[in-house]
Structure 1
Amino acid sequence: MSAAREYGLDEDYEWARPPAGGWTADDLDRLPNLPAHTELIDGSLVLVSPRTFFHARTLRLLENALLDQAPDGLDAIREMTVKLDKSNRPEPDVLVYRADGDADTGPGQTWFRPEDVVLAVEVVSADSVDRDREAKPRKYAAAGIRHYWRVEEEKGLPVVYVYELDPATRAYVPNGVHRERLKLTVPYDIDIDLTALAPRGR
């Protein structure tokens, strides 16, 4: 039986009407016709607005740099969901994960476990400010993801707010605000020229 019929909904629009108790993390793989990059937060589907030029270029810069500089055993990828629990399956803009274990389950994989994620990165958009500043970092920290970056736009360039997990409190603590250059030693040696985001020819 399809998820649509199971919930008594039309195949084309079933995701618009949640069942009692909300959607579950597994529903994201079963619901047909979901818009791209749909997330699940507290049992509710979150639809994203169209990407801005800043957002798209920042994703490309960070993913490429994190991938190029990653040591053996780690990999970087963009826009894959993380199944935190039954009711939460957010999609970090970029994440770094452990590639030397069983995190990679094959070409049909759609999500990662939080224990496989080393770093989650969110690039703040106009419609994601509250989620990226408050809801998501709380959930990532509670799930044990050790590193979180929040990226915001300032004069056309990225500003990266870096956080590290305090294992005693299961909460993030600030670890620096970075403009123009992002240079860190955790979760591995990272050096990113943030001014490289400036449009070519300027």
Structure 2
Amino acid sequence: MATSMIFGRDPEWTPPKEWPIPPVGGYTADDLDRLPNLPRHTELIDGSLVFASPQTVFHMRAIRLLQASLLHATPPALDVYSRMTVTLGPRNRPEPDVLVVESEACTELKETTFQPEDVVLAVEVVSEDSEARDRDTKPLKYAEARIPHFWRVELDEETELPVVHVFELEPTTKAYVATGIHREQLKVSVPFPVKIDLTAINRRQP
């Protein structure tokens, strides 16, 4: 039986008696590692803490499908992570749903965040509570940080399958350019060749 979740945490988690009061100018990226009792998957956007809402089945299955498929496709110089933060600056530390990073960036086992120069691809799976952040705020910040590739995953309400919007950074403008909308199958050659059967979202991955 499914159990109700608070902010995406396990049921045993209880909020602190008093929530932290934001400092003047907002929180910093380092505060995410120092503040006690933060819910899991807390992000920092423009100095404000953003808490994760309970995730849908589609959201979790989309992450599972993409992570498993990318792990099979990435060359040895790259690695794949799910829901790790990226420190874009002192006031921004978002948490993409899936990340492809340089393998050399993953030498410290206790590391809690990546630097943008180590990130090759950031993926956001859109949820109802995060539409504006996933469609507007985060892509803009990823592009400004020069992360070269960004995918946005949406639920097609009619087919109940994921639709993947693929973007590539135009380096002179530091803005993303849309390079394709993929339904049923995602097939791209950059940042490395990968083909993903999007209709497999409801199958258990090996």
| Fold shared by both chains (TM-score > 0.5) | yes
Equivalences for residues 154-193 of structure 1 within 5 A: 154=156, 155-193=159-197
Under a length normalisation based on structure 2, what TM-score does the superposition of the two structures give? Answer: 0.88
One-letter amino acid matched to 1:165:
L
* 2:152 is equivalent to residue 150 of structure 1: yes
Q: Deviations over 1:104-138 (max 9, x none)?
A: 24221100000000000000000000000000000
Root-mean-square deviation (CA, aligned residues, Å) is 1.4
Q: Deviations over 1:170-199 (max 9, x none)?
A: 000001000000000000001000000135
What is the aligned partner in structure 2 of residue 139 from structure 1? Answer: 141
In 2: Cα distance, 1:107 partner to 1:43 partner: 26
Question: 106, 109, 128: which is aligned to 1:107?
Answer: 109
What is the aligned partner in structure 1 of residue 4 from structure 2? Answer: none
* 2:58 is equivalent to residue 51 of structure 1: no
Instruction: Say how many residue pairs are matched.
Output: 188
* CA-CA distance at 1:12 after TM superposition: 3.4
Question: 67, 70, 74: which is aligned to 1:66?
Answer: 70
In 2: Cα distance, 1:42 partner to 1:196 partner: 36
One-letter amino acid matched to 2:46:
D
- DSSP 3-state at the match of 1:37: coil
* CA-CA distance at 1:15 after TM superposition: 4.9
Question: 33, 37, 43: which is aligned to 2:37?
Answer: 33
Under a length normalisation based on structure 1, what TM-score does the superposition of the two structures give? Answer: 0.90
In 2: Cα distance, 1:19 partner to 1:32 partner: 15
- DSSP 3-state at the match of 1:29: helix
In 2: Cα distance, 1:184 partner to 1:122 partner: 17
One-letter amino acid matched to 1:147:
H
Q: Deviations over 1:126-151 (max 9, x none)?
A: 00000000000000000010000000
In 2: Cα distance, 1:88 partner to 1:153 partner: 27
What is the aligned partner in structure 2 of residue 8 from structure 1? Answer: none
Q: Which runs of 5+ in 1 are unaligned?
A: 1-10
Runs (4+) of structure 1 exceeding 2 A deviation are 11-16
Q: Is the 8 A contact 1:124 1:151 kept in 2?
A: yes
* CA-CA distance at 1:14 after TM superposition: 6.0
Shift in CA distance, 44/181, structure 1 to aligned 2, threshold 3 Å: same
One-letter amino acid matched to 2:62:
T
Q: Percentage identity across aligned positions?
A: 61
Q: Which runs of 5+ in 2 are unaligned?
A: 1-14
- DSSP 3-state at the match of 1:131: helix
One-letter amino acid matched to 2:151:
W
In 2: Cα distance, 1:33 partner to 1:157 partner: 36
In 1: Cα distance, 2:152 partner to 2:18 partner: 33
What is the aligned partner in structure 2 of residue 7 from structure 1? Answer: none
* CA-CA distance at 1:13 after TM superposition: 5.3
* 2:118 is equivalent to residue 120 of structure 1: no
